[in-house]
A and B are shown apart, each in its own frame.
Chain A
Amino acid sequence: MAYTEEELKKELETKEYEYGFYTDIESDTFPVGLNEEIVIAISKKKEEPEWMTQWRLEAFKAWKQMEEPEWANVKYKKPDFQAISYYSAPNSKPKYNSLDEVDPELLDTFKRLGISLDEQKKLAGVAVDIVMDSVSVATTFKKTLAEKGIIFCSISEAIKEHPELVKKYIGTVVPQKDNFYAALNSAVFSDGSFCYIPKGVRCPMELSTYFRINQAGTGQFERTLVIADEGSYVSYLEGCTAPSRDENQLHAAVVELIALDDAEIKYSTVQNWFPGDKEGKGGVFNFVTKRGICHKNSKISWTQVETGSAVTWKYPSCILKGDNSIGEFYSIAVTNNYQQADTGTKMIHLGKNTRSTIISKGISAGKSQNSYRGLVQVNSRAENARNFSQCDSLLMGNECGAHTFPYIEVKNKTAQIEHEATTSKIGEDQIFYCNQRGIDTEKAIALIVNGFSKEVLNKLPMEFAVEAQKLLEISLEGSVG
């Protein structure tokens, strides 16, 4: 054979991480370590009001008393929290009115990421609030949004411009003391996005944020707050890539969604943090707390495509507080080489006639471990709650693992809970079948994986679905054998 499977594998393994590059932009970085002074300094640096500083300090006090959780099905060397710098911002400060004013090097980075703002602007009316190492450097489409009364800005800006909204909602879904990483985030969050959709407004475009870690050795602590007021609708997209790096990078974000009566929030994520090299060296630790609360007749839908990170710990959840509210979770989690993912969701049914749907697709390749962990909880007053869960696992090769940990707690006898699970393997027969039709092995795997993930990919907004399909292909390269 001209091209044996072994050769193919080797060639693919030598491919560098596509987005593994580092942008040399002058940065303003804090000394390493964490204490009260650092927390206060972050708050001061961001010109925050006193209440915010106090809020951070409360979180920090709580965090000091907490222990890093160990229950997840992942193994890793715990980060040294005193060896991290908690603040890093690109120096090119003033905000830009046009792209011409932006640092060319930064623009080049965007280009390499395939997200040139020019293109983005033209693309189906997507407004992009780009978080480059913590500080927003570009915000577009603000005017159009402002006409509808929609606020879409960085959280720092929101704290200054809309303190009443931030104060009212921050920490209401994910309290400061919720968990170890949420507490840490609450104390030191550097920036993130804020979005408010007024009553009865349907956001006319997909809101999109690209996150990116860029400064060597800085943790990234993003804070996102999305509020959909009564009867409003918003579709929010979050996507990220990160540069290649030897040491582990910690990412501990908090996302809070609030869907007031009759509102709908659709939150989609494509996550592609650096997963480490093929020996499992380096890579991002992604310990994220994402949670939404649904008031009466409202709906929150989480869709995620997780392909990156060395270690992922993430459970986008819905608290179905209001009667007739709906929670959805659609997930594709891909692990390759030495990646580990422990991801899933929690659906907490509190209101009457609440419904939830969970579709989880786990794909494991290489020596990776992929776990689904999901909780469906029906409280005593949640009459007629409904849940449907489906967890499918796809294995490639003989050295990876797929695990499912479903938790079901039902305290109301009118509840109806369904759980389905399957495990399958990509067979040599499937690959040969594709080969025989002229489709090479790499393309064949992409085809099979995309087929397996179709139900979730279909939930993504069009332009994101295309990107997600490409990501699936990239992250499974070299997994044949």
Chain B
Amino acid sequence: MLKISNLHAGIEDNEILKGIDLEVKAGEVHAIMGPNGSGKSTLASVIAGKEEYEITAGSVVLEGEDLEDASPEERAHKGIFLSFQYPVEIPGVSVTNFMKTAINEGRKAKGLEDMPAKDMLKMIREKAELLEIDRKFLSRSLNEGFSGGEKKRNEIFQMAMLEPKLAILDETDSGLDIDALRIVANGVNKLKSKDNAVIVITHYQRLLDYIVPDFVHVLHQGKIVKSGTKELAHELEEKGYDWIKQETAV
């Protein structure tokens, strides 16, 4: 589904990603771990097409299509979803209105009519239940005054509504207590299918107890320095990132 080859990217002459190779197939869950500043969030932003990042070499290909020329919204229409580490506030715009706009813009891009209000309401009800979201929450302004946990749950709610092919969860576990973590992880697991894929970016092994990855990659200084199965995550948890740093320094 996603094929990243020799990806070099950075911001204003500062190269952050220094040759990333990664292949994600449909039905797979990949975890990307690594210390602070290793380039995890940059990788997520580059896949999503954030414009301040410049790709200097290599490619990001989604289902055989090079994404280089695609705008962030086109990538979203192709099925890429990013759950933000720090979701932004949009005062006065309700969660429902935001989702309605996002879904209908996506449909417009595919040449479809707006989703009928009845279907939209039904979908909202189902997905809100899945993530144990109170209906009142949906009429609040997007992320405004939300707790850390509410913000993250709202991100996954949006993912459920948009039904992406490839979901990237950027530090979705940060700021979550154990109950919220369980709910969020449950939601993600229920949304998983053989046709979509998930990339989980995290510092800690904790989330991976709930969302079990097929592959774990360790990112360090802009490169994937180690790949393995979920055992690798446990090993990291035990030994810490210094182990990786030492190993790569050798």
Q: Which residues of A contact B (CB under 8 A)?
A: 1-5, 427-430, 432-441, 443, 447-448, 450-455
Contact A438:B71 (CB < 8 A) given known A433-B87, A448-B90? no
* Contact (Cβ within 8 A) A5 B90: no
Contact A427:B92 (CB < 8 A) given known A435-B71, A435-B76, A438-B106? no
Partner of B73, one of A429, A439, A447: A439
Q: Which residues of A contact B74 (CB under 8 A)?
A: 2
B81 to chain A minimum Cβ distance, whole angstroms, is 8
- Provide the B161-176 mask, 1 if CB < 8 A to any CB of A, else 0: 0100000000000000
A363 to chain B minimum Cβ distance, whole angstroms, is 12
Contact A429:B71 (CB < 8 A) given known A436-B82, A450-B93? no
Partner of A2, one of B71, B81, B106, B158: B71
Q: Does B135 contact A (CB under 8 A)?
A: no
* Contact (Cβ within 8 A) A440 B73: yes
Q: Does B70 contact A (CB under 8 A)?
A: yes
* Contact (Cβ within 8 A) B90 A1: no
* Contact (Cβ within 8 A) B70 A438: no
A481 to chain B minimum Cβ distance, whole angstroms, is 12
- Provide the B113-154 mask, 1 if CB < 8 A to any CB of A, else 0: 000000000000000000000000000010000000000000
In the complex, A7→B141 CA distance in Å? 31
Q: Which residues of A contact B93 (CB under 8 A)?
A: 447-448, 450-451
Contact A453:B92 (CB < 8 A) given known A2-B70, A3-B71, A436-B82? yes
* Contact (Cβ within 8 A) A427 B69: no
Q: Which residues of A contact B97 (CB under 8 A)?
A: 447
Q: Does B36 contact A (CB under 8 A)?
A: no
* Contact (Cβ within 8 A) B98 A437: yes
Q: Does B84 contact A (CB under 8 A)?
A: yes
Of A429, A451, A455, chain B has the most CB atoms within 10 Å of the CB of A451
Q: Does B57 contact A (CB under 8 A)?
A: no
Sorted from nearest, which 5 A-B pairs have the closest CB atoms?
Answer: A451-B92, A451-B93, A438-B76, A435-B72, A437-B102
Q: Which residues of B contact A4 (CB under 8 A)?
A: 51
In the complex, A448→B105 CA distance in Å? 15
Q: Does B248 contact A (CB under 8 A)?
A: no
Known: A436-B82, A439-B73, A454-B92. 19 other contacts (CB 8 A): A1-B69, A1-B71, A2-B70, A5-B51, A432-B51, A433-B90, A435-B71, A435-B72, A436-B48, A436-B72, A437-B102, A438-B105, A438-B162, A440-B73, A440-B105, A443-B105, A447-B90, A450-B93, A452-B91
In the complex, A435→B71 CA distance in Å? 8
In the complex, A436→B92 CA distance in Å? 19
* Contact (Cβ within 8 A) A432 B50: yes
- Provide the B226-242 mask, 1 if CB < 8 A to any CB of A, else 0: 00000000000000000
* Contact (Cβ within 8 A) B158 A437: yes
* Contact (Cβ within 8 A) B101 A443: yes
Q: Which residues of B contact A1 (CB under 8 A)?
A: 49, 51, 69-71
Of A1, A438, A451, chain B has the most CB atoms within 10 Å of the CB of A438
Q: Does B88 contact A (CB under 8 A)?
A: yes
Of A5, A429, A439, A450, chain B has the most CB atoms within 10 Å of the CB of A439
- Provide the B46-74 mask, 1 if CB < 8 A to any CB of A, else 0: 00111110000000000000000111111
Q: Which residues of A contact B52 (CB under 8 A)?
A: 428
Q: Which residues of A contact B84 (CB under 8 A)?
A: 433, 436
Q: Does B109 contact A (CB under 8 A)?
A: yes
Of A433, A448, A452, chain B has the most CB atoms within 10 Å of the CB of A433
A384 to chain B minimum Cβ distance, whole angstroms, is 32
Q: Which residues of B contact A433 (CB under 8 A)?
A: 84, 87-88, 90
In the complex, A437→B162 CA distance in Å? 8
Partner of A437, one of B71, B76, B109: B76
- Nearest CB in chain B to that of A451: its residue: B92
In the complex, A454→B109 CA distance in Å? 27
Q: Which residues of A contact B72 (CB under 8 A)?
A: 432, 435-436
- Nearest CB in chain A to that of B70: its residue: A2
Of A434, A448, A450, A453, chain B has the most CB atoms within 10 Å of the CB of A434
- Nearest CB in chain A to that of B86: its residue: A429
Q: Which residues of B contact A437 (CB under 8 A)?
A: 76, 98, 102, 105, 158, 162
